[in-house]
């Protein structure tokens, strides 16, 4: 009986390991298609029933760095959005909502930059 338990435990570990390897492959494929780490996390949660990728011991960004995959950070996405709204606002000065959105996104960018500055670099 003890051998049967060991065999079952070993099979479980192998299944989890395979699952982890499959998830890493999915993460890399999604990133190559142009998804951000945030979007990848949502896809994994919705399609593949992975509640948190961190449970595997790695973050999505860490997996992408290990596989040398370029990806857009949240800061890149916010900067792109600000630039897009600013070009719209230059053409449409009467659009006060766009002006408000520029202010809102600049505040969001500053908040994210402060967060990144506080975080230790080892992560």
Number of independent structural domains in the chain: 2
* Cβ–Cβ under 8 Å, residues 45 and 23: no
CA dist 62 to 16, 66, 76, Å?
19, 6, 17
Chain-centre distance for alpha carbon 29 = 13
Residues 9 and 57 both lie in one domain: yes
Residues 60 and 21 both lie in one domain: yes
Lowest mean pLDDT among 1-5, 65-69, 94-98: 1-5
Residues 7 and 49 both lie in one domain: yes
> pLDDT tens across 59-76, in order?
898 999 999 999 888 899
Domain limits at 44? Answer: 2-66
Report pTM.
0.67
Residue 78 lies in a domain: yes
> pLDDT tens across 32-55, in order?
998 999 899 999 989 888 888 887
């Amino acid at each position: 009986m003890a051998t049967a338990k060991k065999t079952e435990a070993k099979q479980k570990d192998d299944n989890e390991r395979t699952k982890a390897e499959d998830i890493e492959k999915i993460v890399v494929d999604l990133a190559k298609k142009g998804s951000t780490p945030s979007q990848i996390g949502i896809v994994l949660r919705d399609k593949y029933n992975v509640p948190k990728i961190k449970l595997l011991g790695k973050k999505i960004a860490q997996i992408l760095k290990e596989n040398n995959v370029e990806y857009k950070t949240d800061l890149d996405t916010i900067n792109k959005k600000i630039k897009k709204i600013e070009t719209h606002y230059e053409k449409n000065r009467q659009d006060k909502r766009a002006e408000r959105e520029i202010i809102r996104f600049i505040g969001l960018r500053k908040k994210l930059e402060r967060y990144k500055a506080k975080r230790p670099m080892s992560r």
